[in-house]
């Protein structure tokens, strides 16, 4: 059944301290993470790589076929993600990849070693991704 979640995302990074004694400046890092989350907010997340779904799109709509069900959504309300499932674990990995790309562009001097992203869909139910940076 179609349903929604109010996700909570948290990010933790580990790395070498810079000359100011910080790994990353939260004042500039936090808006970067918020922008990634805002891009997904209030959208229907569709797993484009799922073998169980057939997804097609036109200029204004996205059609999803699942078994005998056909769902048509306004394209402006949909994000097609390169995932096999929109599980919290895979969403955390996807968000981590987005963060890594943007951190490498915005903070080229940062010396990060690890990043952990958690996506919580309800209290106590979360998926985590931890990876080398």
Position 2 scores a pLDDT of 73
Position 30 scores a pLDDT of 96
Position 3 scores a pLDDT of 78
Position 47 scores a pLDDT of 96
The residue written with tokens 């080229």 in the block is 108
Task: Kindly report the backbone phi and psi dihedral angles of residue 126, in degrees, each rounded to the nearest multiple of 5, phi listed first.
Answer: -140, 155
pLDDT means per 10 residues, the chain with 133 residues, are: 87 95 94 97 95 96 96 97 97 98 94 97 94 93
Position 120 scores a pLDDT of 97
Round to whole Å and give the CA distance between 65 and 48: 11
- Are the C-beta atoms of 117 and 92 separated by less than 8 Å? yes
Is the pTM higher than 0.85? yes
């Amino acid at each position: 059944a179609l349903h929604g979640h109010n996700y909570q995302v948290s990010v933790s990074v580990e790395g070498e301290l810079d000359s100011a004694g910080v790994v990353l400046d939260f004042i500039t890092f936090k808006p970067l993470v918020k922008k990634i989350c805002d891009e997904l907010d209030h959208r229907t997340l569709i797993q484009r790589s799922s073998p169980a779904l057939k997804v097609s799109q036109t200029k204004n709509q996205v059609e999803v076929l699942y078994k005998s069900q056909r769902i048509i959504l306004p394209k402006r309300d949909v994000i097609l993600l390169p995932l096999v499932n929109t599980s919290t674990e895979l969403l955390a990995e996807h968000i981590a990849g987005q963060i890594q790309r943007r951190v490498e562009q915005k903070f080229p001097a940062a010396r990060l070693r690890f990043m952990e992203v958690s996506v919580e869909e309800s209290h106590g139910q979360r998926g985590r991704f931890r990876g080398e940076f």
